[in-house]
């Protein structure tokens, strides 16, 4: 769910998206309907349809919000690393591990929803392409950066699909290994 400052007003769109995310996390993407969002959010059907005229628009809004949240987190990580003089690649890897732990159930639900409409993944592809480019632009060894990026994706998708779930110690070991990989000078 979106991180919203305590004193900032919450938009109707965000409250509707919050309700949609709760449904997907709790019941899966198949149960996401406009009527379910009306019931979960407490808004009228007209209010929900005004903001999201279809289930596809609702899913697009959820995907866009996930991307915007990730982008904001990575931008903040970049700014903090640059301000502190910390190397950027390790900071980005650490942020990737933090992001991977955020709402895997929601990610899985959205993945199921976009399986019917693959074009909904286009903004995700664009974001990941931008992130990959940043990884590659900020490393002395692009091959190691690619390896780190794809290892992070592999860990995420294995966790999300329940193929090979890492315990906390194994996650910490993997994070340390990837950090060591991207922290080494080019050989």
Q: Which CATH class name applies to 10-53?
A: mainly alpha
pLDDT tens by residue, 117-137: 788 888 888 988 988 887 788
Cα distance between residue 125 and residue 118, in whole Å: 11
Cα–Cα dist 73/124, whole Å: 15
- Map out the domains of the chain as residue ranges: 10-53, 63-183
113 and 67 Cβ atoms separated by less than 8 Å: no
pLDDT digits (tens, 9 = 90+) for 139-159: 888 898 889 888 988 888 787
Q: What angle do CA 66, 123, 77 make, to 5 degrees?
A: 50
Total-model pTM: 0.78
Q: Which of 66, 61, 88, 64 is nearest to 76 (CA)?
A: 88
Instruction: Please say whether the beta carbons of 113 and 120 come within 8 A.
Output: yes
Cα–Cα distance, 60 to 8 (Å, whole number): 24
């Amino acid at each position: 769910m979106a991180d919203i400052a305590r004193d900032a007003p919450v938009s109707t769109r965000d409250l509707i998206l919050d309700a949609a995310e709760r449904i997907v996390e709790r019941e899966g993407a198949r149960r996401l309907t406009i009527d379910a969002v009306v019931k979960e959010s407490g808004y009228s059907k007209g209010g929900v349809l005004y903001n999201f005229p279809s289930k596809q628009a609702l899913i697009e809004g959820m995907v866009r919000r996930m991307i915007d949240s990730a982008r904001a987190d990575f931008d903040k990580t970049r700014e903090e690393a640059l301000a502190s003089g910390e190397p950027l690649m390790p900071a980005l890897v650490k942020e990737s591990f933090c992001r991977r732990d955020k709402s895997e159930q929601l990610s899985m639900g959205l993945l199921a929803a976009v399986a019917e409409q693959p074009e909904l993944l286009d903004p995700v592809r664009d974001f990941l392409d931008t992130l990959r480019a940043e990884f590659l632009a900020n490393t002395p060894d692009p091959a190691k950066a690619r390896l780190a990026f794809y290892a992070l994706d592999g860990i995420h998708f294995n966790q999300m699909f329940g193929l090979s779930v890492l315990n906390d110690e194994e996650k910490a070991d993997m994070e340390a290994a990837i950090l060591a990989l991207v922290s080494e000078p080019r050989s």
